[in-house]
Structure 1
Amino acid sequence: MRAVPLVLVALVSGCQNAEQPVVDVFRPDYKGVETRLLEGDLVNFLVTMEGARDPQDVLDYAECAASQYALIRGFGFARQVRTNVVEEGGLWRGDAVYTVSPALPRGLRTIDAEVAVETCRDKGIPTI
């Protein structure tokens, strides 16, 4: 009688070890970027996307746009000033402000534009 429960335990524990497939459903739809020069080195980026997992996906999209913009303007760096993200009915919008500069700016949220654009390409995030 003692062997039966051990066999049942072995069968149940065997079922628990079966690996479940991981399904990746992240399929972002990047709808576009609107760029506005605010003043001097301040630039506003309005990004829109569907299929974001969370606000970080929108922040990443805005950073990619800012990085490419910095390179287009002949600058090597950007710094995030602020980003506001809202989601309504599956449509995510980001309103981001960045500074662009030829030299590494002060602050914690500095971005090497060339490196960032390459990372964006690797992740499949479009730039401007």
Structure 2
Amino acid sequence: MADQSYVQIINEWDIVAARQLGRDYAKDLGFSTVDQARITTAISELARNIYLYAGKGQISIYKLNSRGKQGLLVEAIDEGPGIADIRKVMEDGFSTSGGLGAGLPGVKRLMDEFAIDSEVGKGTRIEAKKWLR
């Protein structure tokens, strides 16, 4: 399996493809079934956000090897409208789509490291890492 792969997110089927890619990478690296589910759920949220709010974007998955630790990096990039108030979208229960609002705060909880960078009118880039225990 390559050290990096990606899925273009344009339609709902691409969300499924991104989830499957993430699960394959997680399994290949030796993550437990519970962590595989966490990673897959996080990818699903990120891909769905791209589909719903940006219209199109990309989910990239990287194998990490840092200081003897192995892990996975999920990167979500879009050129959508951007997020005006990052603090607001990181609040539990906040939703602009009428969903549960578990989105980004949920991704942050499911993964070990989380970073978000967004500029209104330019797009959003999110990085989420999970380390092998």
Question: TM-score, structure 2 length as denominator?
Answer: 0.34
- Between Structure 1 and Structure 2, the one with more strand by share is 1
- Between Structure 1 and Structure 2, the one with more helix by share is 2
- Computing the radius of gyration from Cα coordinates, the structure with the larger value is 1
Question: TM-score, structure 1 length as denominator?
Answer: 0.35
